[in-house]
Amino acid sequence: MIVTRRSILGAGSSLAALGLLAACGGSGGSGAAPAGKAEGKPGDKPAKADEKATDPTVNAVQKKDADEAKLKDRLQRRKTEEDAERAKVVAATKGQPMSEALRQEMTRHARRIARLERIKAVATDAKDNATVQRATKLIELENTRHDKFTSNADSKDEKAGAK
């Protein structure tokens, strides 16, 4: 029986061994190709320096003043909305702890309104009046649904307390 290198290493391993030989410079002449690529790279670097002027991260840093105004506006709007919701919750619960169903409804309502407001803002920026009108209508429907739920939850709590 004759033992060959292929029978010992297997077909896949022999290909890997040949790849290692080529990487070490044993055969294949691949040693000259990386050197040629390295010479072409210094010409590319000045182009990348020019791209930094139009880099979005640099532009974002320069637009900091507009972002601060938006942030203040958003925080003020959030505070007024929270105060309005807090008053509704206090009126609905009448000083009692919030039920689990009401807590889940508040979370559901907040998420839905946030999504619809975001859709409306994006549509406004894109000047898509049809989508703005649809989002406004859906916000009204969601607020109506939420008000109905909270008024019904109030009457359900009274019935549960009477039993």
Single-letter amino acid code for the residue at 84: A
User: Which DSSP string corresponds to 6-20?
Assistant: HHHH-HHHHHHHHHH
Q: Label residue 125 exposed, middle or buried (CB < 10 Å: 0-12, 13-18, 19+).
A: exposed
pLDDT of 139 reads 97
What backbone phi and psi angles, to 5 degrees, belong to 41? -70, -40
What is the number of other CB atoms lying within 10 angstroms of the CB of residue 123? 18
Domain ranges of the chain: 99-163
CA 71 – CA 48 distance, rounded (Å)? 33
The low-confidence residues of the chain, meaning pLDDT below 50, are 15, 18, 20-21, 27-38, 163
pLDDT of 102 reads 87
pLDDT of 20 reads 47
CA 55 to chain centre: 21
C-beta separation of 102 from 93 below 8 A:
yes
Query: pTM higher than 0.75 for the full model?
Result: no
pLDDT of 104 reads 93
pLDDT of 28 reads 46
- Helices (H), ranges, 94-128: 100-125
Single-letter amino acid code for the residue at 49: A
**Which residues lie below 8 Å from residue 5, measured CB to CB, with a gap of 6+?**
14
pLDDT of 8 reads 53
pLDDT of 91 reads 79
CA 154 – CA 163 distance, rounded (Å)? 15
pLDDT of 109 reads 92
